[in-house]
């Protein structure tokens, strides 16, 4: 299964989610996981490097790929149970190439106007890529949500914006929690710092929702 965590908004939590999903599939699903870092900033590669210095954390493989990576991804996908691709925050060749082969595309967005402004362009990009990869399942996920009950409306409104463009939005969200930032520092994940933390339950809910999604067969009837 190939999962691309992408989008063009910087800082929305792409690398953070990609890393936590990688640990979910390695630790909970006992799968063989490869992370593909397509971001020249090397956030995920740095995380893996920090991780490898701690022998108590199970190793996760990671490679860097840039540009026309479609064929590389296709062949890597045959050798791993899960390939998790972290694309940096830009509309670039690697993002489009990964979208053309991924089973799942997840686009994190904060419930903020500047993030939501990227939805129309992402919808455009997704529909282009769906022409070559019709089985792709694309979803937005709302991240770094404010925990204050008085701000709950922001989350609902953000989901409504995504839905208004006809793209699936996950029920599961992440709330703004320091444990995400703190776990990254040491190459760890929220699942490993505290597997019963609220953040761990958020990551599990996101992963389970993805796994439960049915293959998109709608193209077969068009
Ligand atoms: N749910 C969350 N709660 C709190 N902090 C978070 C959450 N998700 C991500 N962060 C933090 O936000 C910062 C940006 O996250 P991250 O690097 O994953 O974003 P990104 O989308 O990959 O950015 P870029 O576009 O630069 O690649 C990091 O410090 C990360 O720890
Ligand atoms: Mg990143």
Which structure tokens are listed for 24? 């979910």
* pLDDT tens by residue, 26-79: 999 999 999 999 999 999 999 999 999 999 999 999 999 999 999 999 999 999
Cα angle, residue 12 at apex, residues 41 and 26 outer, rounded to 5°? 75
40 within ligand 1 shell (Cβ under 6 A)? no
Average pLDDT of span 114-132: 96
Average pLDDT of span 3-19: 97
In the chain, at which residue ranges do the beta strands (DSSP E only) sit?
Answer: 2-5, 33-37, 61-64, 82-86, 104-109, 137-142, 168-169
> Is residue 153 very low, low, confident or very high in pLDDT (cuts 50, 70, 90)?
very high
Ligand 1 pocket: which of 5, 8, 12, 13 to mutate (most atoms <8 Å of CB)? 13
> Is residue 222 very low, low, confident or very high in pLDDT (cuts 50, 70, 90)?
very low
Pair 18, 84: CB distance under 8 Å: yes
Q: Report if residue 190 sits inside a domain.
A: yes
* pLDDT tens by residue, 197-218: 999 999 999 999 999 998 766 5
- Cβ-proximal residues to 195 (8 Å cutoff; 6+ apart), any chain: none
Number of domains in the chain: 1
pTM: 0.96
Look at residue 215 in the predicted model and tell me its pLDDT: 73
Q: Provide the percentage of residues in the chain whose pLDDT is more than 70.
A: 96
Q: Report if residue 218 sits inside a domain.
A: no
143 within ligand 1 shell (Cβ under 6 A)? yes
> Is residue 115 very low, low, confident or very high in pLDDT (cuts 50, 70, 90)?
very high
Q: Report if residue 132 sits inside a domain.
A: yes
- Cβ-proximal residues to 97 (8 Å cutoff; 6+ apart), any chain: 67, 68, 69, 70, 73
25 within ligand 1 shell (Cβ under 6 A)? no
43 within ligand 1 shell (Cβ under 6 A)? yes
Show the domain range for 172.
Answer: 2-213
Give the Cα separation of 36 and 26 in Å (integer). Answer: 15
Distance 119 CA to ligand 2 centre (A): 18
Look at residue 67 in the predicted model and tell me its pLDDT: 93
| Ligand 1 atom, smallest distance to 176 CA | 3
Look at residue 90 in the predicted model and tell me its pLDDT: 78
180 within ligand 1 shell (Cβ under 6 A)? yes
Ligand 1 pocket: which of 12, 16, 44 to mutate (most atoms <8 Å of CB)? 16
Look at residue 89 in the predicted model and tell me its pLDDT: 77
Q: Report if residue 121 sits inside a domain.
A: yes
Residue 174 confidence (pLDDT) above 80? yes
Average pLDDT of span 111-120: 97
Which structure tokens are listed for 203? 């990551």
Which structure tokens are listed for 178? 């320091």
Torsion angles phi and psi, residue 7, rounded to 5: 130, 165
Give the Cα separation of 204 and 54 in Å (integer). Answer: 23
Q: What is the DSSP letter of 25?
A: I
Q: Report if residue 222 sits inside a domain.
A: no
The CB density around residue 214, as the number of other CB atoms within 10 Å, is 6
Give the Cα separation of 121 and 9 in Å (integer). Answer: 11
Average pLDDT of span 75-100: 93
Q: Provide the percentage of residues in the chain whose pLDDT is more than 90.
A: 94
Give the Cα separation of 160 and 158 in Å (integer). Answer: 5
Q: Report if residue 172 sits inside a domain.
A: yes
Q: Report if residue 116 sits inside a domain.
A: yes
Average pLDDT of span 96-109: 97
Q: Report if residue 220 sits inside a domain.
A: no
Across the chain, mean pLDDT equals 95
The CB density around residue 23, as the number of other CB atoms within 10 Å, is 24
Q: Where residue 20 sits, what CATH number does that domain have? A: 3.40.50.300
Give the Cα separation of 109 and 154 in Å (integer). Answer: 12
| Closest ligand to residue 179's CA | 1
Pair 83, 1: CB distance under 8 Å: yes
């Amino acid at each position: 299964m190939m999962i691309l965590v992408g989008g063009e908004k910087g800082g929305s939590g792409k690398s953070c989610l990609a890393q936590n999903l990688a640990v979910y599939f390695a630790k909970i699903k006992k799968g063989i996981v490869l992370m593909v870092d397509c971001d020249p900033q090397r956030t995920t590669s740095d995380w893996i490097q920090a991780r490898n210095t701690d022998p108590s954390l199970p190793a996760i493989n990671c490679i860097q790929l840039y540009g026309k990576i479609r064929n590389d991804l296709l062949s890597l996908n045959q050798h791993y149970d899960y390939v998790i691709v972290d694309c940096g925050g830009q509309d670039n060749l690697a993002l489009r190439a990964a979208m053309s082969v991924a089973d799942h595309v997840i686009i994190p967005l904060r419930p903020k106007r500047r993030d939501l402004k990227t939805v129309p362009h992402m919808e455009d990009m997704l529909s282009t890529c769906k022409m070559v990869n019709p089985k792709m399942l694309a979803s937005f996920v709302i991240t770094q949500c404010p925990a204050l009950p008085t701000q709950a409306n922001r989350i609902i409104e953000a989901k409504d914006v995504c839905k208004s463009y006809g793209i699936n939005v996950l029920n599961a969200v992440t709330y703004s929690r320091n444990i995400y930032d703190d776990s990254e520092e040491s190459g760890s994940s929220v699942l490993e710092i505290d597997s019963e933390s609220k953040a761990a339950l958020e990551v599990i809910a996101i992963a389970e929702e993805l796994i439960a999604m049915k293959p998109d067969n709608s193209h077969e009837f068009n």
